[in-house]
Amino acid sequence: MPAQVEGFNPNKPRYEQDRFVGRLRHFLDVADPRCLMPGAFFGMPLEKSKALMEQYETNTLPTSVNADTMWLAKKVYDSSIHPDTGETILPPFRMCGFAVFGTPIVVGMLLPNPTIVSTIFWQSINQTHNAAVNYSNRNASQPVGVSDIAVGYAGAVASSVGIAVGLNQAVKRAKISEPVRRVLSRFVPYPAVAAASTANMLLMRRTELKQGISVKDHEGKTHGVSTHAAKKAIFQTMMTRLVLPAPLLIIPPVAMMMLEKTPIFKRFPRTRMPIETLVCVGAFVFGLPFAIALFPQEGTIAASEMEPQYQNLKDAQGNAIDTFYFNKGL
């Protein structure tokens, strides 16, 4: 039987998930780059957080441990451990590492005057990173085959490169003034990345639409898999993927265009790269949680919207189960 720590529940997020503000605070924790080195920043190494969570589950937790310590342990644990498999996610592919490892790629995609070669290179690197993040943070209640991963990756790279190169060439050939051309070229990465990220996710998770994903009741008991829940999870993830690149690929160009007009920037043009990097980091740290907070990580679906076998089920107390829960995935 799990231990009892007043104010702490490991089965629920710390902040209310039925409100956007609560989800935003939750995902600010999930995407906190400090979780890459929790021992240095929090005095809570990953191994210590795992030990505390295990002690909680086995009721061997020291009585001196309070709720704040347990919430910190859960934050560190959740940032690195996959909720379905229990495996440790590699640092470059954790959500808390997205800003650190993704910023150089975004800076590369936003470099002015992109050539066809540079566009292909940076879009390919970006989709390779995205594919690894997608796989590492997938809903793993159902296995994903190597062919699914390969098709998802190939589709994402093909769509991102095709859209980016096509739009860049269209902008170059358009009969518009040079200043307008430069402005438009800076925003080409967004539609390319948004479309490719969505295609990547749909291709890699298409088996979920056929096989379904695991669903559980309010007591945490798994009742099977549901294709209806899978459709809802994938739709919510798709909407998130369309919004996700916006702060990362729109805020930096807008900010840089404003900064380029300042006297200090004109006087010290070499500061462009470090300043743009800082702007991208800021967009990552705050923009990423904003986008993924659009929907709760643990999705819900009414029993009435599901397959017949989920109708009229009862929990351990004999009460009708009206709502089921599933891991939406990222």
194-226: pLDDT as tens digits: 887 787 778 777 778 888 989 999 888 889 999
Q: What is the pLDDT of residue 303?
A: 92
Give SS3 for 88: strand
b vs e for 275-291, b when ≥16 Cβ sit within 10 Å of the residue's Cβ? bbeebbbbbbbebbbbb
Q: What is the pLDDT of residue 281?
A: 80
Q: How many CB atoms lie within 10 A of CB 89?
A: 20
Is the pTM here over 0.85, yes or no? no
Whole-number Å distance between alpha carbons of 47 and 164: 43
Residue with tokens 């948004």: 194
Weakly modelled stretches of the chain, pLDDT under 50: none
Residue 263's φ and ψ, nearest 5 degrees, are -60, -40
Question: Hey, what are 116's tokens?
Answer: 């066809």
pLDDT digits (tens, 9 = 90+) for 263-285: 877 788 788 778 888 887 888 77
- What is the DSSP track for 224-281? EEEHHHHHHHHHHHHHHHHHTHHHHHTHHHHHHHHHTTSHHHHH-GGGHHHHHHHHHH
The one-letter amino acid code at 301 reads I
Q: What is the pLDDT of residue 156?
A: 76
Give rounded-to-5 percent helix, strand, coil for the chain: 65, 5, 30
Q: Of 14, 7, 8, 22, which Cα lies nearest the Cα of 289?
A: 22
Q: What is the pLDDT of residue 76?
A: 95
Whole-number Å distance between alpha carbons of 107 and 110: 5
Q: What is the pLDDT of residue 225?
A: 92
- What is the DSSP track for 46-81? HHHHHHHHHHHHTT---TT--HHHHHHHHHHHHHHB
Query: What residues does 225 pair with on adjacent strands?
Result: 214
Q: What is the pLDDT of residue 3?
A: 65
Q: Residue 38 belongs to what H/E stretch? A: helix 38-42
User: Do 132 and 181 touch, CB atoms closer than 8 A?
Assistant: no
Q: What is the pLDDT of residue 139?
A: 64
Whole-number Å distance between alpha carbons of 57 and 255: 47
b vs e for 212-228, b when ≥16 Cβ sit within 10 Å of the residue's Cβ? bbbbbbeeeeebebbeb
Q: What is the pLDDT of residue 195?
A: 81
Whole-number Å distance between alpha carbons of 81 and 5: 22
b vs e for 174-203, b when ≥16 Cβ sit within 10 Å of the residue's Cβ? eeeeeeeeeebbbebbbbbbbbbbbbbbbb
Spatial CB neighbours of 142, under 8 Å, sequence gap ≥ 6: 207, 208, 211, 212, 213, 214, 225
Whole-number Å distance between alpha carbons of 165 and 175: 18
Whole-number Å distance between alpha carbons of 110 and 104: 10
User: Do 151 and 184 touch, CB atoms closer than 8 A?
Assistant: no
